[in-house]
């Protein structure tokens, strides 16, 4: 079983020709609301990946914004452990999606800031704890400490980027970051390889957008090229990667195969609008992998190894 402890938001999404520059007003197009939040997105991705029973610890307000979030998690088969503070609203996110698929996001965390050490459910039966950084860092630290004591593997998606105490990194079994977050943690080394080597965690994965991802496990490195797709909305793609990856690892899948599953799911998520609404099912990922075109050019394994400094 996997426990996801993290954020849950209602996303307010508007499409626009391009992301606005500072001080610029852009006339947008379609507007929709979607269930989101990094934690909830990753829980849905983990559950939809199949093979791993998924629970989530989350905080919601006592307001109408909570209902679609609960409905989305329930529909995906996620068992919920809900903290409902009386004086905080459900978290919200305001997202602008450009026609090319890029996005800009502003989050009002609301109830997410109310999670505390006392809210963690019993960890008996869980193999992995997956967390992000949209809840208080004190809670993340307390949950990681409890998981380590219980023999539960800790996976941390260090997003949004912030300075992390060495005490927390020492408790993490697998760290997942994008390239910007990686540089934020270790500074700009000569290569992605050197950055990964500087992390104190036993394992780390860096996602590199369309290029794919690179992982280090101990002294060994693995690369997974990205899958070419026509992006519609990249919102939630990183969360889809994280949730699918942990679901695969919870089934004791070897890391290279888990990276392949996660990369395919993330690619598919970019072809649909919304966060949780775009997360593919296990059967959709399997079909995609069966018919996926071979990576070429900038997406090839050789090009990815060169970019990462592995050659």
Alpha helices in 108-178 (DSSP H): 137-150, 166-169
Question: Is the predicted pLDDT of residue 279 greater than 60, yes or no?
Answer: yes
239 is catalytic: yes
Q: Is the pLDDT of residue 295 over 80?
A: no
- pLDDT digit string, tens, across residues 20-50: 989 999 998 889 999 999 999 999 999 999 9
DSSP-H helix ranges across 236-275: 237-250, 255-269
| Nearby residues of 122 by Cβ (< 8 Å), 6 or more positions away | none
Longest dimension (CA), the chain: 55
Is residue 187 over pLDDT 90? no
Cα 290 from Cα 123, distance rounded (Å): 36
Question: What's the pLDDT band for 233 if we cut at 50, 70, 90?
Answer: confident
* pLDDT attached to residue 293: 63
pLDDT tens column, 142-184: 999 999 999 999 999 999 988 899 999 999 999 999 999 999 9
**Mean pLDDT, the chain, whole residue set:** 93
Domain ranges of the chain: 2-7+37-89+113-308
Please identify which of the residues 11, 119, 233, 239 carries the catalytic annotation: 239
Instruction: Examine the pLDDT at 297 and tell me if it is beyond 50.
Output: no
Distance CA 131, CA 5 (A): 5
- Domain 2-7+37-89+113-308: what homologous superfamily? Ribokinase (3.40.1190.20)
Q: Whole-model pTM?
A: 0.92
């Amino acid at each position: 079983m996997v426990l996801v402890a993290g954020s849950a938001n209602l996303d307010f999404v508007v499409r626009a020709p391009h992301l606005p520059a500072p001080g610029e007003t852009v006339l947008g197009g379609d507007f929709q609301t979607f269930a989101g939040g990094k934690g909830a997105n990753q829980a849905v991705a983990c559950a939809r990946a199949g093979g791993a029973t998924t629970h989530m610890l989350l905080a919601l307000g006592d307001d109408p914004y909570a209902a679609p979030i609960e409905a989305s998690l329930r529909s995906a088969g996620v068992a919920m452990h809900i903290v409902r503070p009386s004086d905080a609203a459900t978290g919200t996110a305001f997202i602008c999606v450009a026609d090319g698929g890029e996005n800009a996001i502003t989050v009002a965390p609301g109830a997410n800031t109310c999670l505390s050490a006392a809210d963690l459910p019993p960890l008996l039966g869980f193999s992995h704890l997956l967390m992000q950084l949209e809840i208080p860092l004190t809670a993340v630290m307390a949950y990681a400490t409890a998981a380590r004591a219980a023999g539960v593997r800790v996976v941390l998606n260090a997003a949004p980027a912030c300075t992390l105490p060495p005490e927390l990194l020492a408790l993490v079994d697998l760290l997942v970051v994008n390239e910007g977050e990686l540089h934020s943690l270790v500074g700009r080394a000569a290569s992605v390889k050197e950055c990964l080597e500087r992390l104190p965690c036993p394992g780390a994965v860096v996602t590199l957008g369309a290029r794919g991802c690179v992982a280090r496990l101990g002294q060994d490195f693995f690369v997974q090229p990205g899958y070419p797709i026509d992006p519609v909305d990249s919102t939630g793609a990183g969360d889809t990667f994280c949730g699918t990856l942990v679901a695969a690892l919870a089934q004791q899948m070897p890391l290279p195969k888990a990276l392949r599953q996660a990369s395919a799911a993330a690619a598919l998520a970019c072809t649909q609008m919304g966060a949780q609404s775009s997360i593919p099912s296990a059967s959709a990922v399997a079909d995609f992998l069966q018919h996926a075109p071979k990576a070429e050019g900038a997406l090839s394994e050789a090009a990815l190894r060169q970019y990462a400094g592995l050659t």
